[in-house]
Every structure is written in structure tokens, then in C-alpha cells.
Chains A and B, each alone.
Chain A
């Protein structure tokens, strides 16, 4: 697969179709790939990687890259393509300046899970069918690929690439996913249990803003929380609950636009399951307004941006109530 991507990247550059290619660049190890812009054949030949560790979603970079002179080629996995399309819908990307190569994906791996599975000191990896053989400083270890997939890939919602100029690999379909199962588990808790769960999870937050900065739905030029004049900068929380509110407010802000790409949880250095907040909103919207997937197409309107007479009344909260 990697060779096909590299070949295509080179031919796109050489034919003059694009001026640069956005992809994943090799690192010191097998897993530490960096999103990078490639401008020459040599760079692509030497450094371009597509591997089970190409998890980074490149769609958000297209906001700035599409404003550069000439055209940028970008490789998008199925879930990345949803983010791209949603950004396009919000007029954040100049479509004519981007050439999209859709790439089929079997799910990306989570290095933290590899480490947690007893592979500390990992220096190399080999794929063998559904197994990954990890070479470490302390010997080899065989892992099931399924066990170390990123959370979002374990519950993959779609193998369909929703926007592209060309495809590498097979086009897929939406997948019958059980991604709402963890949300249901939270809903089944008593309010006290749920409150305790979130307080404990969010108490680990160090406010590094990685979740916000990586999020394709968080594309404001200047976030209100970075603006000293807003009075909301909140560099330090007055109490521990204020810190928690940041994430809840952010989830509200991206509700209806979040495609559930899972980048927030992938990058969180403290392993906070932030995606569960967003997924709860998605589930609620599905139940209250009918099924809706952000970034699935250009025409549909987000239920929160649309009004129909059949919309539920705010009082619906009293009838839902959860497990009070």
C-alpha cells in the first residue's frame, strides 16, 4: 500500500498536477510519524510513510495549505474524508486548490496500547496477517492487531471515502458499528456515578489544548480561550470544576459538526476519553432529530443548524431524564 501511495505522490508532483503533497513523514522509530509537506521526489522517496501508524488526520492542515499558491495533494483515510467534507461545508477549505487521494484503511494502531501491552522499549515491528510482532529492547512480543487499534478504529463507523479526486484501494461502505455502546454504558449509570466518572477522568486534564488544536471542527482563527480580551482566557481555573467545563463547552461548540474522527482522544497525553462527550451529543441528535452524520455529504443540514416543525421542544429533557 505504501509503495502505491508513494508512486502516486511522485507522479502527481512530476506531472505538475500538484505543487506539494501532504502526507506522513518517517521518524526515529516505526511509530512516530509526523504530518509533513513533501515538495520533491527525493523527499517522498526517502521519507514518505503509510503504515498502521499513519493515524494523524491531515484534513485540518488543508485549511492553510489550500491558501498556498498552487495545488496541494492530500491523502485522506475514510474517517479523515468526513472531516475534510465537513470543513468544506463550513467554507474553511478552498476545494479547487486541493487534490484528494482517498486511501482505504484497515484501522490504525495506537502506540500507547502497544506499550501498555508490555512492549516498552519497542524498536521495530513486523506485520504477520492479523498479528503484529513487536521487537523491543527486551525481546519480541506478538500482539493481535485488533487489540492495539485506536479506539476510533475498533468501532470504525465507515470505510467509505466521502470525497476524493481519486482512490487508492477499494471504496468501502458505512459500517454497522457499536460505537455508542460506551455511551449507553454511561447513560445507564446513576447521575452520581456519571458525575464521578467524568470528574475523575477530567481531573487529569493539564489544559495543554492538544484536543482543541488537533480537532478539525475547532477551526476558529483565534479561540476565545486564547483571547485575553474575551475575559474567558481562563489560563488557570478558579476551581477544579472550571477545568472540566472547558471540555463540556468545547463539546457543545462542535456538536453537530463533530464527525467522530477521534483525534481528540488519540492525542490526549492524559488518556481522557474525550470522544465520549462528543459521541453522546451525536447519539442524542440521532435520537431527537433522526440519524445524522456530520461530514457525510455536502447537502444535508446539521440538525442544530436547521429548524423543522417536527423538532422536539426543549422540554424533551424532562421526558428523557436519564437514570435519575
Chain B
């Protein structure tokens, strides 16, 4: 365990940013926390969590893949992959750290998504334990410890110091480059964890249960009459999917500018009417089917294919951001009530 007085935080950031890009949560023009490329003089956001998740740095909203150009009878194919430079992201909360486990299972299993893999290889995750969880937090429901987040390095912050623990080789290599870190801090970290744990146990969503879904008959959940009322006022926007740290669906499209075809991928949302549109049309004709897909994927399909790992990390962003305040907590509670 290492520590550093908060007054020296800027020196630490400068040192990390010395040979790589560093992203930290900073308040944007609207006052919301956002992972922002660090530069001298930037202030660390005091917000509990960023508005958008850390996923964005590893799986960007839009990414160029390849382009095709025809000249006479020849077609040339050119890969448009952007070079990924080494980077670090500071201040990733425990929920977002868990989201990497979920994204890794999707993108790093065969066939490996090399775009995502490059960013994972180049990126160092410096997590930050929570001090002031919000009422919308429910990471505990998924066995996530907000007081001891994963990542290459784990940090804690109290009123005086930043505490630093390297977890991986990548984390150790970074630590070796940071001489300003001093030894010590174990006791302070334990005290900090204790304090946060007492808050976590008092969270309004602390006792939330998702486990019952493992035992449900899949088709029974799928055919539940509850989906009608749950999806009734869904606007069909993509807010929940785009702020979600685990939503990983994307669309691959061609942009034809007359001279060449550029193939890109971009985030897609199962809430959209044209999601996974095929030649025969769509198999999810109304918002009910689209809405159901999102929750079935996170709560039923994904865990059944991934050793009971839920596709949700309890970050609470969708609870705060859904324009009509329908969300995974309300869905799970209704399904549990309906299963009785």
C-alpha cells in the first residue's frame, strides 16, 4: 500500500500523463462528471460517478473499421484502424470495473474483437473506491465491493490522502514510475472502507434480489404478461443503453461517398426500431419486444451463457437518466413479485 497527500494529486497526474494519455473524471460544461483527457490545472470531479461510463474509452461510440475503393476492375481494401496509444483512466468506480469483466467475455472470447483488445492492452485502469454512494447505487446486489474495486491499481481517497495499491503487472509497472508515492496507509484504508460499508448497508436498494431469476423458466419470464405494462410508456430512446457500462451492441454500416465505401461500427440500441433489422424485417415489431430484449439480455440470457454473471453492475445510471424512470430495478422487482 502506498499513499500521497491530496495536495500532491496534480503532480501524480502529471507523472502518469508523462508517457501516456490520462483520463480523469472532471465536471463538464453542464456540471456533470465526465472522463476527460487530463491537462495541467484540471480539477478532479467530486461527483459520485461519471455521467457516461468508462466503457466509452475501450469501446467508443463510433469506430472506423475498413474502407473499399474501386479503380477500374480492382478493389482495394484498406484497414482504417486507429493506432491506439497507451492510456490510463483514473477514478473508475467498482461498478464500471466489473463492467470490464462483462465486456471482456463478449469481446475477448473467440472470435476476439481486436479493436477492443487493443484498447484493453493499452489501457491501465486506476479504480477509485466509493466514499459517498448514491441512493441509486445497487452494486452490492451483484456481489461488487465498492470499497475494494478491481482494476490495475486500486485507490482510496479520504480528506487528506490518496491511497494506492497496485493489483496487476501493469499496475506495478506504473507504480514504479511514480516516486512521489510513499509507503503506508493500510489503517486509513481500513477505516475508510469501514465507513463506506456502513453507508452501503443503509442504501435504499441494499437488499435487492436478482438471484431468483436464475431459477426461473426462461420462457416463463419471456412470456410474462408484465412486459406489457412495464414497457407501456417506454419512449424507445437509447438513453439507458448509451449510459450503460455493459451495453455492448453495435451496428456495422457502410458509408458510400461515391468514391469509396467506408465501413464503420457504432453503438446501437435494442430500444430502437431498426435494431438488428434483417432482410425479412424486424422480429421485434413493437416497443414491448425491444424493451423485453434489453432486460432479458442482462438478467436472463447473459447469465445463462456466462456462469450466472448478470449483465448489470448496479451503477444506477439508467435509474438517474431514463426520461420516464423505468429501469432494471423496477423490472426485476416486478418480475419477482410476478413469480410468486
A204 CB, nearest partner CB in chain B, Å:
6
Residues A266-293 near B (CB distance < 8 A)? 266-267, 269-272
Q: Is A175 an interface residue (CB 8 A)?
A: no
Residues of A within 8 A of B269 (CB): 208
**Cβ–Cβ contact B204 & A222, under 8 A:** no
Residues of B within 8 A of A29 (CB): 135-136, 204
**Cβ–Cβ contact A121 & B132, under 8 A:** yes
Residues of A within 8 A of B324 (CB): 34-35, 56
Residues of B within 8 A of A270 (CB): 30, 32, 51
**Cβ–Cβ contact A236 & B237, under 8 A:** no
CA distance A277 to B251 in the complex (A): 30
Chain B 218-252 near chain A by CB (<8 Å), digits 1 or 0: 00000000000100110111110111000000010
Residues B1-44 near A (CB distance < 8 A)? 28-32, 34
**Cβ–Cβ contact B232 & A36, under 8 A:** yes
Given contacts A137-B199, A233-B274, A269-B239, are A206 and B61 in contact (CB under 8 A)? yes
CA distance A31 to B62 in the complex (A): 34
Q: Is B95 an interface residue (CB 8 A)?
A: no
Chain A 118-154 near chain B by CB (<8 Å), digits 1 or 0: 0011110000000000001110000000000000000
**Cβ–Cβ contact A206 & B237, under 8 A:** no
Q: How many interface residues does A have (CB within 8 Å)?
A: 48
CA distance A215 to B204 in the complex (A): 32
CA distance A210 to B269 in the complex (A): 12
**Cβ–Cβ contact B132 & A120, under 8 A:** yes
B312 CB, nearest partner CB in chain A, Å:
15
CA distance A204 to B30 in the complex (A): 9
Contact of B325 among A32, A206, A207 (CB under 8 A): A32
Since A123-B204, A226-B272 are in contact, a sample of 8 more A-B pairs with Cβ atoms closer than 8 Å, ordered by chain A residue number, is A28-B330, A37-B229, A120-B132, A206-B243, A210-B323, A214-B237, A267-B239, A269-B239
CA distance A27 to B277 in the complex (A): 33
**Cβ–Cβ contact B274 & A271, under 8 A:** no
**Cβ–Cβ contact A267 & B325, under 8 A:** no
Residues B301-340 near A (CB distance < 8 A)? 319-321, 323-327, 329-330
Measured CB to CB, the nearest residue on chain B to A271 is: B30
Residues of B within 8 A of A17 (CB): none
**Cβ–Cβ contact B238 & A28, under 8 A:** no
Measured CB to CB, the nearest residue on chain B to A37 is: B232
Contact of A235 among B30, B205, B251 (CB under 8 A): B251
CA distance A266 to B324 in the complex (A): 11
Q: Is A61 an interface residue (CB 8 A)?
A: yes
Given contacts A28-B205, A214-B237, are A121 and B135 in contact (CB under 8 A)? yes
**Cβ–Cβ contact A210 & B273, under 8 A:** no
The 8 closest A-B pairs by CB, nearest first: A271-B30, A267-B323, A32-B325, A236-B266, A210-B237, A213-B235, A236-B62, A35-B233
